[in-house]
Structure 1
Amino acid sequence: MTYRKSKIENRKTVVILGAGAWGTALANLAWVNGHEVRLWSRNSSQTLAAVLQDAADIVLSAISMKGVRDVALLVKSCPLSPEIIFVTATKGLDPQTTYTPSQTWQTEFPHHSVVVLSGPNLSQEIEQELPAACVVASKNFAAAHQVQLVFSSSRFRVYTSPDPIGVELGGTVKNVMAIAAGVCDGLHLGTNAKAALVTRALTEMVRIGQVLGSKTETFYGLSGLGDLLATCNSPLSRNYQVGYQLASGKRLTEILNTLPGTAEGVNTCRVLMQISQQQNITIPITEQVYRLLESEVTPQQALDELMLRDMKPEYNQ
């Protein structure tokens, strides 16, 4: 599907890979700004090669984590301009390599700029034209700035960052914390418990990010704290719904079968457990979410495990 609008200065051709709610919302943002937008999915009538022809300027991936590597290889098989900027708006971790999406794209396209787009962006609210903000991050500032210009508008404010892994990890790890937040609300534990959970969740996100090479301050921005607050407090979040329904007594397979779209936090939790064992990272909230997903504990037992951990200072001195 191709969106066209009147010509503007520095008009770009933007290819969106993934025609789900998030990909469509991003396509509309670029189109409203006057750019040519081509929306592609595996069910498209056009081949990917046809969509990418005529020198696309930006290729943005909004597909689920499980499809990232296959689609990247498919893109690699097509003729491409050396100037193409790749943007990833996927939040997840590869279960085989433990790579983030941007690391997967950069591995396949080492000579291209890769930009991460992330933030507190519930697609339904974007589609309703409610105000929102996000971050685009890259080691190449010029590439991030180009993406910033394509998507920025009066209803969608875009910031830049030089920390792509930090921005990506914030948007990825918070999905696990959203499952925990859903459990908290599903058990009706109250405001005090929810505040404590979200605060300690942010501490855990920072700890993971520091070990994996991110900047601490990134997690206090839109892609960290911002996305954490949005996803932990909205019934629109699929990951929140997973936790809420688990607390209501439903089984994980039943929840996932009826959920619209992918709850990336389920896979992310399992990959984070691999990483924590390899890197010796303490991730108590993630661990209890994992045990809950694996039916090793009930929601109440997971809560008790967190509340009865050894006493410690709030911050390591």
Structure 2
Amino acid sequence: MELRQLRYFLAVAEEANFTRAAERVHISQPGISAQIRQLESDLGATLLDRSGRHVGLTAVGEVALDHARSVLAAVEALRHAVDEMNGLVRGKLVVGMVTACTVTPLFDALSGFHLEHPGVEVSLVEDDSVRLVEYVREGTVDLALIGAAGRPPEDLDGWPIVSEPIVAAVPVGHPLAERDGVTLAELSAYPVICLPRGTGIRAVLDEASAAQGLTPTIALQASAPGAVLNLAERGLGVAVLSESMIPRHAGLRTVPLNDADIPAVLALISAPTKSPALRELLVHCRQTFGEPKADGPVPVGGMATG
């Protein structure tokens, strides 16, 4: 008994016709007939009723069909398991991260994964969060670290790392420096320095302002949070970043934005269909990032560019 004979038997049973079954399995009709007769000979029983216009199953054939399907399904499962392991050993992964990423646990996860699976080729792509989301949707990026407004995209698998408010940062002596908090309307009276469109932080600022009918004046924008802070420290405008992006130093004062209710979220996102290599990388990410945090400081070196 051979696996191909079981496949031929299954094809004839489902097509109820030797000609169509032969076309389905890409063999000649005499060839499929001969193989099934050999199967019947090996089993010592007639499986197919050839007396009518359509080929039917004998009582023995009915029983044999269920077993044939089970055997072929088991073989397919075996192949799938081996293919998955081969994919883990020799696969490829494309990881996306926001520009100027400083979130070191992501690097730790990549390092740990590489040590365990050196055969998997890992490449990195830097871009803003909006483009990274599209890359994941398209399947050109497997996993991405992004910033988002409120929550990760609902059509993708999202794992929020942290959720925290956006705040303003002003130099000492600025009219807002001694305030315990300001509204977005009050913020709009000053030039703002922020990250560019496509980042999570900027999306939070734009969405929260639009909800109140406000349009802040973006005087300057830079891709790196450090540049945003340096410009603000020199009096060129009010910096708007997430809370953990603003280090404590003498040059700037952090001022809460009282009515910016949409949180800035840092999240890992991936498509629902995952390769064995990606599943293993996600395990390493969970080990390095720990459980998701909410409404607190980011224990991962800040939110990068969000």
Larger Rg: 2
More strand per residue: 1 or 2? 2
- Structure with larger RCO (C-alpha < 8 A, sep 6+): 2
TM-score, normalising length from structure 1?
A: 0.25
TM-score, normalising length from structure 2?
A: 0.26
More helix per residue: 1 or 2? 1
